Chain A
Amino acid sequence: MTVSAQVTPGSVPPAAFEEQEAIAGRSLGQLAWMRLRRDKGAMTAMITLIVIIALAVFAPLITRMLHIDPLSFDDKAVSQDGGLPIGPFGGMSLAHPLGVEPGTGRDNLARLLYGARVSLFISFSATIITCTIGVLVGIVAGYRRGWVDGALGRFMDIVLAFPLLLVALSMAPVLTQRLQSMGLSGNGGRVLYLILVISIFGWPYLARIVRGQVLSIREREFVESAVSMGAGTSRILFREILPNLWAPILVYATIVMPSYIALEASLSFLGVGVLPPTPTWGAMLADSVRYFVVDPAFLFFPGALLFIVVFAFNSLGDAVRDALDPRTGRV
């Protein structure tokens, strides 16, 4: 019998054992993965995401193969009477498979592919930072309790009380300037700024969830026994308690990731996003809403892609939660 080192017996719900009685010797992770694999919706979502991420990663290759470019203007593709794309569905043609941007004739497909790189990079990075800070603060606050918990709790309240969009807008010029003087000019600074802003205001939500979980976990027997056996605080936090938190963390990450893509979109929409001519989904959406009556295809493609990614992440998040914690059945 292989005993999973990182999973303490107390953390495995009895229900899970009953269900899987015939097959012995699987770790919690393996069990969860098995359940996830049986979930068709989750697998579809996961494959969709993998495809989109692959498209983003290989964007330069794909655009070169299709002879499209996100930055080149094409004034033959748009009308000289108003700048709208020539041709049906926003100027769809062999040369421009998803049509072109009104006014400039830049290729929508190329811009969507390159935009995915920026948008996904920002949301992935912000999610990782948010989760790291959130878990660290939450776990310490929940375990230490007392004044540490009080102080961290108030600090979280303060951060949560800031109106994110207002602060992001007002800090943008100052912070980007500061990043510039640190040698990060142009888009590097802008992208870092977006990641920082999203992370700074994102972590308290997870920290609160984690703190709540830790408050109950720390009273469990395996923690007490670890304490009585003289384990150090960091061992208790990261070897005993943390493994029991993966479910909420993963669920939170999959739910928050799409909201960060959307947040990047709204920050770009409000003009503190990435500089032109670099495309992002947010900037493309911001631009396309003005055209929703006259050129709906221009709004449809970035909108649909954002919808698909958000939907896929959310379904995956749900499925991961179900897989990790089968007691909470599907609604």
Chain B
Amino acid sequence: MAKAGLRAVVFAAVGALALAACGSGSGTSPSSSAGGGATTATSGPQKGGTLYILTNEKQFLHLDPQRNYTGTDLAFANGFLNRTLTAYKFAPGDGGAQLVPDLATDTGTATDGGKTWSFTLRDGVTFQDGSPITCADVKYGISRTFATTVITDGPTYAIQDLAIPTDAKGNSVYLGPYDTSSKNDVAAFDKAVTCSADNKTITMHLNQPVGDWNYAMTLLEFSPVPKAKDTGEKYDDNPVSSGPYQIENYTKGTSLTLVRNPKWSQASDPYRHAYPDKVVVQFGLDPSAIDQRLMADSGPDQTAVTLGGLQPENLATVFNDPKYKDRRFNGYDPYVRYLAINTAKVPNLKQRLAMMAAMDRAAYRTIYGGNFAGDLADGVIKPNLAIDYKPTNLWTGLLGQNIPDNGDPTFAKQLIAQSGAKMPTITYDYPNTPTQSKVASAVVASLGKAGITVKPNPIEPGQYYGVILDPKKADELMYAGWGPDWLNASTVIPPLFQPNGGFDVSQYNNAAFNAQINKAKATLDRTAQGAEWAALNVEAMKDGLVIPTLFGKIQYLVGSKIGGGYIWAPYGCMPFGDLWIKS
């Protein structure tokens, strides 16, 4: 789930829409056609060639579908290896938010006011060994999420929302497919998820109505896994493909090679085009070297893309030089970046607000590349969630007075004086990367102006989210970033600000706030629900839970022979699964 990205370490969940007002993609992205999720380009996509994907990461954090929860990794795996019931359309701009059927024949049928959802599988869908994908396989895949000791790091929507009773401690009575003890209530799961007699239709019963549950189906959490091939924890290394490619070779730290899956048929998969013959992911490259290779654009690098975006230092070069104009892309990603304030360590509200007031957000934005970094944020809900977003006025009076982008140390000092307590020393946790070190300097300098002592605490990027998600290890202030799992702030506010929400880095536990969350979750009228989320967003800012910094943007440079590139809004990256190689 944690994503150690090139430009930023972003806690990644799957994204939603591009900002309606802003669109996305500054490059020459092909225009999207109207139907079937297909993309047509002016010069015409074609099959063949090898697509190279370059990354500085040592491996994919997880290729086990139920454990994959990183934006770019999801876009990669969903495009090549794992089919899901529904998927986001391959289209630039707002089109990327459109839900299209993938394994299912349509985007699902809701009954019982949204408490029951059914999906029917297409004919002829198979795994890489040729065995047909049935309802039982999808159901088995979902069941794996419940084995929380084995299947770690993945999303937990199945646990939260399926109609399975919980025990006194609030844990599900179903413990997943690996637990054979009598405590494991398999019947409860079998009741919540049922298959039709022909093993083609899966029906899920939820504990409360969820109007957009079919969006959750885009997560690999709900993708099929053949029970016979499941190796538990080791499934991560050799997952069975249901997509158009299969793993030929996976050497962590070096490369992952995908070749065509001979059992995949285009007829059963109108969503994917499977243009390249081969896909090679090269791991462990130096981020600067990746950019230099793409800028040089020689040999095989002409058909290369990066997994993450461009480094800040190369943005000016790439976007000022016209020779890159056909292969550079700039657009909004799904993420909001912020500094999380640990309410357990800083229980005093005025002190939390003082930190918000003191932070130099303009410096933060400049470090990330200024205008390329995105817009200064005013909350944790990004304007791409159009129904849920409302300006919070956080910096224009919500805390009592205007706070300039560079921070207001005088106001911060007043707040500390009002707090009636001595300001504690703040330890700032951040992933140890060059850009993040500069951010740490900005935190130290700007909070220092308000008389707050900040100690920077760099953490090895690969372990970063593991540390800050551990309440015993988390410090007062932490770098974080979050993208919604789908176009509803129900995938933002609850995970961030509810105990066991999944990303409750602020360690906030407020009974009244939790009650409002549950009320909003149960509100079926989407407009009314949006207003409730917007109100909770304001509430969270007033309660000093995070210092919102950026509504992020992302920039990509691709090789000159890559066709079909654009910033794919749902995941804030290239549409890896729909790229093609120009001859």
Contact = CB atoms under 8 A, between A and B. Distances in A.
B438 A103 contact: yes
Given A104-B363, A294-B316, A287 B434 contact: yes
A277 B441 contact: yes
B211 interface: no
Contact of B369 (A73, A82, A276): A82
B435 interface: yes
Contacts of A277: 440-441, 444-445, 456
A291 B313 contact: yes
Contact of A84 (B316, B363, B460): B316
Contacts of A82: 312-313, 315-317, 319, 369-370, 372
A289 B360 CA distance: 26
B367 A104 contact: yes
A161 B320 CA distance: 50
Contacts of B28: none
B524 interface: no
B232 to A, nearest CB: 30
A294 B456 CA distance: 28
Q: Which of B313, B360, B432 has the most CB of A within 10 A?
A: B313
Given A290-B288, A291-B313, A294-B317, A81 B434 contact: no
Contacts of A186: 455
Given A294-B317, A295-B313, A73 B456 contact: no
Given A275-B456, A276-B438, A290-B288, A81 B316 contact: yes
A131 to B, nearest CB: 32
Contact of A79 (B316, B437, B444): B316
Contacts of B288: 289-290
B418 interface: no
A75 B312 contact: no
A74 to B, nearest CB: 9
Given A84-B316, A275-B456, A79 B370 contact: yes
B363 A75 contact: yes
Task: Output the residue of A79, A103, A283, A290 with the most chain B CB within 10 A.
Answer: A103
B366 interface: yes
Identify which of A80, A277, A294 gathers the most chain B CB atoms within 10 Å of its CB. Answer: A277
Contacts of B438: 103-104, 276
Contacts of A289: 288
A293 interface: yes
Interface in B402-447: 406, 432, 434-435, 437-438, 440-442, 444-446
B399 interface: no
Contacts of B313: 82-84, 102-103, 290-291, 294-295
A83 B363 contact: no
Contact of A276 (B314, B371, B440): B440
Contacts of B317: 82, 293-294
Contact of B312 (A83, A271, A276, A286): A83
B537 interface: no
B158 interface: no
A72 B370 contact: no
A294 B369 CA distance: 14
B316 A73 contact: no
B141 to A, nearest CB: 37
B311 A80 contact: no
B197 to A, nearest CB: 57
Given A271-B458, A275-B458, A290-B434, A104 B316 contact: no
B292 interface: yes
A44 interface: no
B434 A83 contact: no
- Interface secondary structure of A, over-half rule: loop
Interface string A136-152: 00000000000000000
B437 A276 contact: yes
B366 A75 contact: yes
A71 interface: yes
A185 to B, nearest CB: 7
Nearest to B286: A290
A105 interface: yes
A78 interface: yes
B441 A71 contact: yes
Contacts of A283: 437
Contacts of B456: 275-277
Contacts of A71: 441, 444-445
B362 interface: yes
A293 B292 contact: yes
Nearest to B455: A186
A102 B456 CA distance: 21
Nearest to A82: B316
B294 to A, nearest CB: 13
Contact of B367 (A72, A103, A295): A103
Given A73-B360, A289-B288, A294-B313, A80 B366 contact: yes
A223 to B, nearest CB: 53
Contacts of B458: 271, 275
Interface in B119-156: none
Contact of B435 (A73, A103, A275): A103
A138 B116 CA distance: 80
Nearest to A275: B456
A25 to B, nearest CB: 59
B311 A290 contact: yes
A276 B444 contact: yes
Interface in B306-339: 311-317, 319-320
Contacts of B437: 276, 283, 287
Contact of B442 (A73, A173, A286, A295): A73
Contacts of B363: 73, 75, 104
Contacts of B315: 81-83
A74 B314 CA distance: 20
Interface in A263-313: 271, 275-277, 283, 286-287, 289-291, 293-295
Interface in A156-203: 173, 185-186
Which of A71, A275, A286 has the most chain B CB atoms closer than 10 A to its own CB? A275
A185 B442 CA distance: 20
A75 B362 contact: yes
A81 B370 contact: yes
Interface string B444-473: 111000000001101010000000000000
A286 B312 CA distance: 15
Nearest to B446: A73
A155 to B, nearest CB: 31
A106 to B, nearest CB: 8
18 contacts: A71-B445, A72-B445, A73-B360, A73-B445, A73-B446, A78-B370, A81-B320, A81-B372, A82-B317, A82-B372, A103-B435, A185-B455, A186-B455, A271-B458, A275-B456, A275-B458, A287-B437, A291-B313
Per CB-CB distance, the 3 closest pairs between chain A and chain B, nearest first, are: A82-B316, A80-B370, A277-B441
Given A82-B369, A186-B455, A271-B458, 8 more contacts: A73-B363, A79-B370, A81-B315, A81-B319, A83-B369, A84-B313, A277-B445, A286-B434
Interface of B: 288, 292, 311-317, 319-320, 360, 362-363, 366-372, 406, 432, 434-435, 437-438, 440-442, 444-446, 455-456, 458, 460
Interface of A: 71-73, 75, 78-84, 102-106, 173, 185-186, 271, 275-277, 283, 286-287, 289-291, 293-295
